[in-house]
Structure 1
């Protein structure tokens, strides 16, 4: 049984340790609640029962629990420079025992643990049963869906750590252009510029599992809104950028 009021109160207590006036901390608190909304949307669209909705919401509430301590230790959310935030979140919850602050019943522990550990992977590991995969796909899609809102609402400096002017002066790396052009999720280590990074966020659409997730993208016009935030100044780069915009639009339709 999931007591969601208990879980939300525990989350509020946990994040109260961190200064919400720090933009990155505030961003992750808001992100957590918005991922829960995206998860609820997917569950409603998929017609899931209340138990599964509650479990999906709990996973959404906890999926980035390690982000706060990650920021305080490293002042960065770049996993490749710091720690894998999904595994760190799992460690806090299940190795340090934090999970019992959120839910007394241990019957859901394995699904929660696995879903959190898999939510940021480039590819899902093999060998999971159908029910576990459902919750893995739910949190992966919900997390990606809210990333479009984050990139739309937050300052470029907060999300890319450089100025808008600098990003617009950059070019698209050949490897990134090729992956996006062929409608593939971008492999993080191949990114070389901040513009590459921005395109990698938009390329999340290529990894969405549920058709209703693509519907959500269309309903909010996230592809155009994301592309519109930048305006590459180099003529060739601008042309490439618009070609990739059309590739993304073609994909979601």
Structure 2
């Protein structure tokens, strides 16, 4: 198991896709951002070298299904393709995993972590090591998505400008969900503001204190909320309520423990 070898194979895989396409380019940057964040989380959690290497490889491969989704549908929407399911199909049903990891020792962990990384809730995993890696990739994925929400072009990943988004209302069920300490269920989103709320609500699904510490240190909650100019007065007030609630959650949540 060697991350650098896996990276070489990943770069070869990407040659089948249009690297000049804006959405493809965003996903490539995101992939390596998740690897970077995974490395930092593992360091802070003082994980073993083996677990760190495995976690970095899972991070490298977690969105491998996205590239075919973009090629076929030019969309990130889950209604067009289940990118996690397609990713494990490519890796395990088509046996591509052996190009990235020659040994089969960690196949079950890799399969589960990638297949479950975008599930609404992570449930039903009983093996402690598998659960560790399934939680890690969900944390690292969300952590880089903080960068995405701050740096990437809103028109590319939101399909609207900040001004357009901030003029919209927040659907009541979306607002109420946050105060139940639950993530937003994708089909419940109606407006682009609902989508924006869902991107801060995923802080409620962070697993490890190390990840929450990074979120606090980078002030991601405030930076993401403040990226949008809220011209809708009701939306502006609701976002301040959400800010207060989530800041308290991020600061006080103990997270899960490992070892």
The answer for the alignment partner of 2:238 in structure 1 is: 240
Inter-partner Cα distance in structure 1 for 2:93 and 2:62: 15
1:35-55: per-residue Cα shift (whole Å, max 9, x none)?
Answer: 011111111111111111000
Deviating 4+ runs (over 4 angstroms):
none
Inter-partner Cα distance in structure 1 for 2:74 and 2:122: 28
- Does the 8 Å CA contact 2:118/2:138 hold for their aligned counterparts? yes
The answer for the alignment partner of 2:77 in structure 1 is: 78
Report the Cα offset of residue 63 of structure 1: 0.3
Q: TM-score, normalised by structure 2?
A: 0.94
The answer for the alignment partner of 1:174 in structure 2 is: 172
The answer for the alignment partner of 1:123 in structure 2 is: 121
The answer for the alignment partner of 1:59 in structure 2 is: 58
Residue 195 of structure 2 corresponds to residue 204 of structure 1: no
Inter-partner Cα distance in structure 2 for 1:125 and 1:234: 37
- Does the 8 Å CA contact 1:185/1:207 hold for their aligned counterparts? yes
Inter-partner Cα distance in structure 2 for 1:35 and 1:54: 13
1:48-101: per-residue Cα shift (whole Å, max 9, x none)?
Answer: 11111000000000000010010010010111x211111110011001111111
The number of aligned residues is 251
| Superposition RMSD in Å | 1.0
Inter-partner Cα distance in structure 2 for 1:127 and 1:33: 26
Which segments of 5 or more consecutive residues in structure 1 lack a partner in the other structure? none
The answer for the alignment partner of 1:8 in structure 2 is: 7
Which segments of 5 or more consecutive residues in structure 2 lack a partner in the other structure? 252-259
1:168-202: per-residue Cα shift (whole Å, max 9, x none)?
Answer: 21100000100113332111111111111111011
Inter-partner Cα distance in structure 2 for 1:238 and 1:5: 46
Inter-partner Cα distance in structure 2 for 1:164 and 1:152: 11
